Structure 1
Amino acid sequence: MSRLKRIQSIDGLKKTLQTILKNQCSLSESDVNLLNDAVAKLNKLRTKKGLTDKHYQMEIADIVELITEFLI
């Protein structure tokens, strides 16, 4: 995947998570923490350069785990 597509994907997911945080007043503190952690990891991932597809997938897997915990 090209770097531009990765950045676009990261930005789209980050925007979605921030919208959820902003519009859902009924979130518990742990839910807010999970989503904030996911956004922070996305911000960090966005600045990393030279990632192989395998490393990128590992980073995304961590973020997906956080989002899954939020959904469950």
Structure 2
Amino acid sequence: MSRLSRLQNIDGLRISLETILQNQCSLSESDINLLNNAVAKLNRLKTKKGLTNKHYQMEVADIVELIFKFFI
């Protein structure tokens, strides 16, 4: 996957999560923390350069785990 494609995917997910945070006033403190952690990890991932596909997948897996916990 090209770096540009990765950045577009990261930005799309980050914007979606930030929209959820802004529009859902009924979120618990735990849910807010999970989403904020996911957004922070996405922001850090965006700045990392030279990641192999394996490292990128590991980073994304951590973010997906946070989002999964939010939905459960």
Give TM-score, length-normalised by structure 1.
1.00
Residue aligning to 1:11: 11
Secondary structure at 1:33's aligned position in 2?
Answer: helix
**Structure 2 residue 35 is matched with structure 1 residue 35:** yes
Distance 1:13 1:69 in 2: 16
Question: How far apart are residue 68 of structure 1 and its match?
Answer: 0.2
- Kindly report structure 1 stretches of 4+ aligned residues shifted beyond 6 Å: none
What CA distance in whole angstroms lies between the structure 1 residues aligned with 2:22 and 2:43? 17
What do you get for the CA RMSD once the two structures are aligned? 0.2
AA partner of residue 39 (structure 1): V
SS of equivalent residue, structure 1 residue 49: coil
Percent identical among aligned pairs is 76
Q: Which runs of 5+ in 2 are unaligned?
A: none
The TM-score with structure 2 as length reference comes to 1.00
Which amino acid in 2 is paired with 1:2? S
